[in-house]
A and B are shown apart, each in its own frame.
Chain A
Amino acid sequence: MRVPVIIYGDRDLISAMDDKVLNQAINVATLPGIVTASYAMPDAHWGYGFPIGGVAAFDSDQGGVVSAGGVGFDISCGVRTLHTGLTVTDLKLKKLILADALFEEIPVGVGSTGRIRLDDAQMDEMLTGGAKWAVEQGWGSPDDLERIEEHGMMRDALPDEVSARAKKRQRNEMGTLGSGNHYLEIQEVSEIYDQHAAEIFGLHTGDIVVTIHCGSRGLGHQIGTEFLKDMAQAAHQHGIDLPDRELACAPIRSPAGKSYLGAMRAAINCALANREIITHLTRQVFAKVLPEARLELLYDVSHNTCKLEQHEINGETRRLYVHRKGATRAFGPGHPELPDAFQDVGQPVLIGGSMGTASHVLAGNSGNDALSFESACHGAGRSMSRRRATKTWRGRHVVDELAARGIVVRSPSMRGIAEEAPGAYKDVDAVVDVADRAGLARKVARVTPVVCVKG
């Protein structure tokens, strides 16, 4: 190990954590150029190479690496939350109509396709322009851009480094939600913990918000797959001894490292464009069903990325490549990357729960640079395998049980619902409590689902 491993959790979370989280965090700590520590967030669980919930930063001046396994297959998978200007009362009579209309209009689930088809030139423009490109095409609002990390466009993306196969896999997947743990939820703000930050974020008890969780779709998955193989070879060529082949990596300054960074940044743009297009589709549905609604973006965060950022290490400012695999960036107050509106309170950190439980809005804290390179958890994290979940619950029963609690679920797959049953996840409240107590980010608001459209 070149650096220590630091895992955030309380007694219950740590004792429930798979031993493999620790093993994987230790493996990450052996990689060249790693700085300060190999971190695991409170929602960490067994991943591939890196644990899910892993954070690690590398210095290119010290032979640091970039790892495809440290970003994962669903590059720039993330969450965005939109205000609606509506309250629970406004929604009451239209809840079912809205659920059906969203399920009808937003392509969701295995085999679904979007209505947008991109030719080769348009594909490259999308991969360069991200959400900014989507807005320029009329799919989204210019006001959204400052409320997205990187202002909606990841710089230094290299579409030429994205293979023809990855582009083909994306050809008809723009504006699709995907499946598994991806969702679109209508949620109610049920509790406020930090009145000042909530006011600045525009959140009040009883407000209705929309949250979208999805990523870079087939393009990101294909890039992840291809570079995993290429980087395993690159690591070998550069004499990097990998404790696990899944940690596939290459020196940041090597041709393989530069190629991956260019392709991964293109995939980040794909994810940002995708969430922007889904937002556009969602706005169209609201315009028909609840025309008084105004869907304004609170913020958009990505939780599977490697980004070049400035961090303070022992009083010295260094430029580091920070991998967050199932971890959310959590810039504190005053960070130059944040829009003016958030300068006083820090970045909104959006934490998704499972469909029957809560999600949370946190705010980035001052001083969390020294704790986790300004990172926090990303979700509840699973506590049970899919296989065990399908043996424990039946999809129909889960839907009925949630309906009895006023939560409307729409999904093409009952088996998918069983696999994503709320009980298959950790207690998201416990996860965010630890993030709050450890100082990674502070709790601002808790939101609970009203409608869930699930892939």
Chain B
Amino acid sequence: MAHVAAGNPGHWEHFSHMADVGIRGVGATVEEAFAQAAVALTAAITEPAKVRYDDSVQLDFASTDLETLLFEWLNALIYEMAVRKMLFSHFQVHIDDCHLQAQAWGERVDRFRHQPAVEVKGATYTELRVANEGGVWVAQCIIDV
């Protein structure tokens, strides 16, 4: 079980794509990498540290492989952000054989406090990769903004 909040030692980063944004989560477990990738998703929109944990949503779904599961995970968060007008910054992820159960904490968008830069349209298959690289899990893809 990965339990990662923005600002903790967990590691996420953005990588360059000309028109859009590459997001990458890195962790000791695949779950932590997924949670960090979710923080990177929020960071494309606003500073994750500015997002409070007022409310949460539960997510539960399965996929055929870890890469498709990451695609589904990010798109599920994008959907929840869109319909609830929320931003998330704190994620608890459990993955069991390509079955993901997660809770995401966040709050309603506050355009003055969050200064959201872009709306994420969707996570893509481009540069999609979930892999254990030298003992460290990496979960990444390009998101369309």
Interface residues of A (CB under 8 A from B): 18, 45-49, 52, 72-74, 109-113, 165, 168-169, 171, 178-180, 218, 221-222, 224-225, 228-229, 232, 244-246, 248, 381-388, 390, 412-416, 418-419, 455
Chain B residue, CB-CB nearest to A326: B19
Return B124 CB to nearest CB of chain A, in Å: 4
> Are the C-beta atoms of B144 and A382 separated by less than 8 Å?
no
Known: A178-B119, A179-B117, A385-B18. A111 touches B85 (CB 8 A): yes
Chain B residue numbers with a CB within 8 Å of A415 are 46, 115, 117
When distances are taken between beta carbons in the complex, the residues of chain A under 8 Å from B122 are 73, 221-222, 224-225, 228
- How far is the CB of B109 from the nearest CB of chain A, in Å? 3
Task: Answer yes or no: B59 CB below 8 A from chain A CBs.
Answer: no
How many Å from the CB of B47 to the closest CB on chain A? Answer: 9
Assess A111 versus B19: contact at CB under 8 Å? Given A48-B124, A387-B14: no
* The residue from A224, A229, A382, A414 contacting B71, defined by CB atoms under 8 A apart: A229
Chain B residues with CB below 8 A from A110, complex form? 45, 109, 111, 114, 116-119
Candidate in A73, A178, A416 with the most chain B CB atoms within 10 angstroms = A73
Contacts of A246 in B (CB 8 A): 124-126
Which of B28-36, B75-83, B92-100, B132-140 is near enough to bind chain A?
Answer: B75-83
**Which residues does chain A contribute within 8 Å of B123, judged by CB atoms?**
225
Contact B79 A228 (CB under 8 A): no
Q: How many residues of B contact A (CB 8 A)?
A: 39
CA gap between A233 and B119 in the complex, in Å: 27
A232-B125, A383-B18 are known; give 17 further A-B pairs, CB within 8 A: A72-B144, A73-B144, A110-B114, A111-B111, A111-B116, A179-B117, A221-B122, A225-B123, A229-B72, A244-B125, A246-B124, A382-B18, A414-B115, A415-B46, A415-B115, A416-B117, A455-B119
23 sampled A-B residue pairs with Cβ under 8 A: A18-B18, A46-B18, A48-B124, A48-B125, A48-B126, A48-B142, A48-B144, A49-B126, A109-B111, A111-B111, A168-B83, A178-B119, A180-B145, A228-B122, A229-B68, A229-B71, A381-B19, A385-B16, A386-B20, A413-B117, A415-B117, A416-B118, A418-B117
Shortest CB-to-CB span from A324 to chain B, Å, is 16
A248 to B124, CA, bound (A): 11
CA–CA, A434 and B25, complex, Å: 41
Contact B19 A46, beta carbon cutoff 8 Å: yes
**How many residue pairs bridge A and B at CB < 8 Å?**
126
| Residue ID in chain B nearest A232 by CB atoms | B125
Distance of B32 from chain A, by nearest CB (Å): 23
| Shortest distance from the beta carbon of A22 to any chain B beta carbon, whole Å | 14
Do A169 and B21 contact each other (CB < 8 Å), given the known contacts A72-B144, A228-B125, A413-B116? no
A414 and B118 CA atoms in complex are apart in Å by 11
**How many angstroms from the CA of A228 to the CA of B117 in the assembled complex?**
25
Of B112, B115, B116, B145, the contact of A386 (CB 8 Å cutoff): B145
Which B residues have a C-beta under 8 Å from some C-beta of A?
14, 16-21, 44-46, 68, 71-72, 75, 78-79, 82-83, 85, 108-109, 111-112, 114-119, 121-126, 128, 142, 144-145
* B119 and A180 form a contact (CB under 8 A): yes
Inside 8 A of A218's CB, which chain B residues have their CB?
A: 82-83
Inside 8 A of B142's CB, which chain A residues have their CB? 48
Residue among B72, B109, B126 making CB contact with A111, cutoff 8 Å = B109
The answer on a CB contact under 8 Å between A109 and B116 is: yes
Question: Closest 10 interchain pairs by CB?
Answer: A111-B109, A110-B116, A415-B117, A221-B121, A73-B121, A245-B125, A416-B117, A225-B122, A48-B126, A385-B16
Contacts of B112 in A (CB 8 A): 412
CB proximity of B71 to chain A, nearest CB, Å? 7
Query: Are B111 and A413 in touch, CB under 8 angstroms?
Result: yes
Bound form: Cα–Cα A112–B111 in Å = 9
Chain A residues contacting B78 (CB-CB under 8 Å) are: 221, 225
Query: Considering the chains assembled together, what is the distance between the CA atoms of A415 and B44 in angstroms?
Result: 10
CB pair A412 B145 closer than 8 Å: no
